[in-house]
Structure 1
Amino acid sequence: MDAKVMNQILEIAFEKRVSDVHFEVDNPPFFRGRGQLIRSKLPKLKPEDTEFIAKTILEANKRQLDPSLREQDASYSLPNGGRFRVSIFRQKGVIGIVMRVIPPHIGSFEELNLPVVLSEIVKAPNGLILVTGPTGNGKSTTLASMLRYLNENYSYNIITIEDPIEFLFTSSKSCIIQREVGIDTEGFGAALKAALRMDPDVIMVGEMRDPETIDACIKAAETGHLVFSTLHTQSASSTINRLIGNFPPEVQEVMRQRLADMLVAIVSLRLVKDKSGENIIPVVEVMRSTTTIQACIRDGRLDEIEKHIENGVAQYGMQTLDQHLIQLCQQKIIAVDEAKRITRSMDLERKLMFTS
């Protein structure tokens, strides 16, 4: 393996629009396309091959491969402009790499089939907007689309704190500053404190990983900024539960109050195949922080939130995951079996019959 061969493999991945590339010892490179893992016909990789790939990526990030490395995130760019988010790790004592392809174009809400209500949500003057979902289900792409909308329509100072930087922005109406953890700053907590001294209007934090970052995000919202971030949760209620559960019991009531006051919306995503099997589309739960939902958060009545989302379709543009799945099934965009694959509900078919 040399740099030329490595880049050729990545260029093929970028051109074929696969979502991920896997480099693992004793296997040829794998590509994930349309949700399926595809084994390439290239030679099997040796330990020195994956070590070379890891070294090349880290050197491009001005880092060295530490012999004690267990796992590390980074980014990588091809000469032709293709970009990747990289996860480097050890398995059975040798190095493995998974590289996520970052699309070159930041899609609009319409291009990404995202609900039009997002254009209303991002107009909030301040507060906390969260994008959630399992790994690889479009959180980063959705966040980038939100920032694109702000960049094209508002004169804001936007600061992103990412690990690593994924989508590259060019300032339009807004001024955009992008900082990468490990290169430009020590961590999310330190970068958030610094961001408040950088005259921000909008702050985007790649992920709320710990109580310190969660608290700093809420503080930034409380001081009049619009804050975006992500969590690996699957619904609005589970997101709120996860946030509050990060704190000791004696402060959870205060955190519920703060979160209720500052939360603007939670957008939860899952990706599904359309009926053709050729395209991947988002299924989106949208919760907006109405007075009723704020009361549920303050009182800890999280089990009631889904019902309030269901009832907020017409007035607030909210929707549950099941409501969106039913809509996509009725429009014959996705198959019922695909909808049943991702829903938490045991009675999706009954709901489909009731609404048809």
Structure 2
Amino acid sequence: MEMNDLLHAAVDSDASDILLVTDAPPMFRIDGQLRTTALEPLDPETIRDLCDQVMKVQQKEILEKQKDVDFAITVPRLGRFRFNIHVQRGSLAAAIRRFSNEVCTLSSLELPPVVEELTRLKTGLILVTGQTGSGKSTTLAAMVEAINQRDSKHIITLEDPIEYQFQHGKSLIEQREIGEDCPGFTSGLKHVLRQDPDVILIGELRDLDTIRVALQAAETGHLVLASLHVSSAAGVVDRLVEVFPPEEQSQVRSHLAESLRAVITQRLLPAAMSNGRVAAVEIMLTNRAIQTSIRESTTHLIPGIISTNRRVGMQTMEQALKELLLNGKVDAETVDEHLQELKGEASGKEYSHGLLA
């Protein structure tokens, strides 16, 4: 079995992901659903051979030492693929994510118009959040490409690994890969601030030091775009603050209230009338009421603030879901399922804004 054959099959099937695990056939994720291929179950030797076909010596050394390695490769005419190769039950397994050769536009993603407006900001922090596989990287890439095609800016990205590859448009774009071009997000960010950027893209806010430097960059005249694994706008604030020691949290809330410009939270849902998926998008734009909630640690009020400010482009996830249903883009069963998830999340976090009663 050849890895290239698997990648070709995934593209032909329009799969977003490939999963390789011992004693199971290769699995494809198509439109969010995991599908079994007609291939034979994989043994440890076959998976090892498939992984060896795409790993460099350095990546093999990292895998041997850490039992886990992330990297990306570009396959001509197929696109770019992100690999996570890891050890489970003593044998290798792999999760492979497929990216398009071309960066999507904001209009093709059918995101709310306010997302394009956010790309016109000069400074501040914009976060794109959601669960794994919710399209965060695609949205961030589309935002960067909107700036690239419209403005003369210096854009620097820090990614682990590089997912979409940009071509210079009106902007000059540098892409730095963690582990290849710099040792880590924190050190990369510190040096980026000395490289005259206008826009900084951080693939993921993972730890205290990265968040600290990202806030500093957003406060000192840069537009910072980043992703975070959080399922709601209110949850973003709590997550960022709680990373810091208790004695720093009050000051961090103040910095966050000043620097945070918007939170875009995404879910991908199966389309009602065709193959593919559509995005349900929650939008939080930082206004005075949001700033007060951040400073005073009353983030349970944020969903209510969002729901009453639709006229300026904000919307809750519930409002986004119901609008998709109204427009016939998703079916009622899908919306009900996600509304129940939201209700459970809200109950678990003690958010009570009256929308899901």
Instruction: Report the TM-score, using the length of structure 2 for normalisation.
Output: 0.93
User: Greater shift after overlay, 103-112 or 131-140?
Assistant: 103-112
Match of 1:93 in 2: 90
Contact 1:11 1:82 in 2 (8 A): no
Match of 1:207 in 2: 204
Structure 2 counterpart of 1:290, from 284, 287, 291:
287
Q: Distance in 2 between the 1:58 and 1:255 partners?
A: 41
Contact 1:57 1:74 in 2 (8 A): no
Contact 1:170 1:176 in 2 (8 A): yes
Contact 1:134 1:270 in 2 (8 A): yes
Match of 2:350 in 1: none
Match of 2:338 in 1: 342
CA distances 1:35-74 after superposition (whole Å, capped 9, x unpaired): 2211111222221221122223221x85334434422211
Instruction: Report the TM-score, using the length of structure 1 for normalisation.
Output: 0.93
Q: Distance in 2 between the 1:161 and 1:45 partners?
A: 35
Q: Distance in 2 between the 1:75 and 1:319 partners?
A: 35
Q: Distance in 1 between the 2:195 and 2:135 partners?
A: 29
Contact 1:161 1:180 in 2 (8 A): yes
Q: Distance in 2 between the 1:79 and 1:116 partners?
A: 33
Match of 1:134 in 2: 131
Query: Structure 1 residue 167 and structure 2 residue 164: aligned?
Result: yes
Contact 1:322 1:345 in 2 (8 A): no
Structure 2 counterpart of 1:45, from 35, 42, 52:
42
Q: Distance in 2 between the 1:253 and 1:36 partners?
A: 43
CA distances 1:272-313 after superposition (whole Å, capped 9, x unpaired): 112236220000000001111111111111011111111111
Structure 1 residue 351, shift from structure 2 partner: 7.1
CA distances 1:103-160 after superposition (whole Å, capped 9, x unpaired): 2221112111111111111111100000000000010000001001000111000000
Q: Distance in 1 between the 2:327 and 2:19 partners?
A: 36
In angstroms, what is the RMSD of aligned CA positions?
1.9
Specify the SS of the correspondent of 2:163. coil
Specify the SS of the correspondent of 1:345. helix
Q: Distance in 1 between the 2:82 and 2:126 partners?
A: 23
Match of 1:10 in 2: 7
Query: Structure 1 residue 318 and structure 2 residue 318: aligned?
Result: no
Specify the SS of the correspondent of 1:58. coil
Structure 1 counterpart of 2:18, from 9, 17, 21:
21
User: Greater shift after overlay, 78-87 or 249-258?
Assistant: 78-87
Name the amino acid aligned to 2:138: T
Structure 1 residue 202, shift from structure 2 partner: 0.4
Match of 2:217 in 1: 220
Q: Distance in 2 between the 1:244 and 1:191 partners?
A: 22
Q: Distance in 2 between the 1:69 and 1:10 partners?
A: 26
CA distances 1:71-99 after superposition (whole Å, capped 9, x unpaired): 22111222334211111111100000010
Contact 2:59 2:69 in 1 (8 A): no
Name the amino acid aligned to 1:218: L
Name the amino acid aligned to 2:98: V
Structure 2 counterpart of 1:271, from 262, 268, 285:
268
Match of 1:182 in 2: 179
Name the amino acid aligned to 2:140: L
Contact 1:274 1:334 in 2 (8 A): yes
Match of 2:107 in 1: 110
Tell me the matched-pair count: 346
CA distances 1:199-252 after superposition (whole Å, capped 9, x unpaired): 100000000000000001001111110001011001110011000000111100
Q: Distance in 2 between the 1:224 and 1:52 partners?
A: 48
Contact 1:85 1:164 in 2 (8 A): yes
Name the amino acid aligned to 1:326: K
Q: Distance in 2 between the 1:257 and 1:77 partners?
A: 42
Query: Structure 1 residue 299 and structure 2 residue 296: aligned?
Result: yes
Specify the SS of the correspondent of 1:184. coil
Name the amino acid aligned to 1:325: L
Identity %: 38
Unaligned ranges ≥5, structure 1? none
Unaligned ranges ≥5, structure 2? 347-353
Structure 2 counterpart of 1:148, from 140, 145, 148:
145
Q: Distance in 1 between the 2:241 and 2:51 partners?
A: 37
